[in-house]
Amino acid sequence: MPIASLTKVMTAMVILDANLALDEPINFNKDDKERIYNGYSRIRMGSTLSRGEALHIALMSSENLATAALARQFPGGYDAFIKAMNAKAKSLDMTDTVFVDSSGLNPDNVSTAADITKMIKAAYDYPKIRQYSTTPVHTAYFKKPRYKLGYTNTNALVRGQKWDVALSKTGYLDIAGHCLAMITEVDGKQLLIVTLDAYGKLTPVGDAGRIKKWLQSGHSGKVSESAMHYQKQKLSTLTN
């Protein structure tokens, strides 16, 4: 399945594995803009931000331009970065996973729930990924020129701080649906949840709640008719 911005967890691991200085400034240019298909970003062309801050807003708020800039300014350049992503996936035995870009905007970034589980387990060993991905709100301070931008976490469970979430990443593309991967705590035990291709924007959060309820009580609660219809359509497509 296409995995959308769940890709950014692999991007973060590759950056951190390279031991690059997180306080080093990186810049944003037209090449980065083209690599996110000229998609919208509030970041101004030509401005700079530290590598660590770029990684922070990429993980917590899914800033696509940040991932493109991080990959471009990797030793060997963008192509070397994508090669490193796939090498990392192979090292984690993610046998059904392919990466072609650093943001997840390309639907050819594909994986399975089982492989994403391997990726999230590995990412949990990175304190920066745990910290950055679970920040509810954050302000990034750019230079050349000086300005600041406020960011919020894309996971409502993290924003509301209602759950004890240790690692989080969301994703969305039309073709990928709404995706969620996170590590949380249920009744004193850590739980890793991966959902791919959910129906609506809040469906992954609702599904996480239903999974939690099912584990605690044996009952998951109701699922909307529209979501059930969407599932049947998708299953029909996959089986055909």
Give the residue numbers of the binding site. 169
**Catalytic status, residue 62:** yes
E-assigned strands of the chain?
25-27, 48-50, 137-142, 147-152, 165-173, 177-186, 189-198
Best CA proximity match to 89, nearest among 58, 46, 120: 120
Catalytic residue among 5, 50, 102, 103: 5
Tell me the domain boundaries of the chain: 4-239
Residue 138, amino acid? H
Residues 122-141 pLDDT 10s = 999 999 999 999 999 999 99
State the Cα–Cα distance between residues 72 and 34, nearest whole angstrom. 12
Question: For 187, phi and psi rounded to 5 degrees?
Answer: 50, 45
Treating both helix axes as pointing N-terminal to C-terminal, what angle do 64-72 and 78-91 enclose, rounded to 10 degrees? 100
Report DSSP letters for 42-85, one per residue: SSPTT-EEEHHHHHHHHHHH--HHHHHHHHHTSTT-HHHHHHHH
* DSSP-derived secondary structure letter, 44: P
| 202: confidence class by pLDDT, cuts 50, 70, 90 | confident
**Catalytic status, residue 220:** no
Q: Around 11, how many Cα atoms within 13 Å sit in the side-chain half-sphere?
A: 37
Task: Please indicate whether residue 128 or residue 210 has the higher confidence score (pLDDT).
Answer: 128
SS3 content of the chain, % helix, strand, coil (to 5): 45, 20, 35
> Partners of 173 in the beta sheet?
177
Of 54-63, 173-182, 231-240, minimum mean pLDDT range: 231-240
> Partners of 168 in the beta sheet?
182
Catalytic residue among 50, 62, 111, 133: 62
Give the residue numbers of the binding site for substrate. 169
Residues 21-72 pLDDT 10s = 999 999 999 999 999 999 999 999 999 999 999 999 999 999 999 999 999 9
pTM greater than the 0.75 cutoff: yes
**Catalytic status, residue 236:** no
Q: Are 85 and 71 in contact (CB under 8 A)?
A: no
User: What pLDDT score was predicted for residue 240?
Assistant: 65
Q: Are 172 and 197 in contact (CB under 8 A)?
A: no
Fold of 4-239: Beta-lactamase (3.40.710)
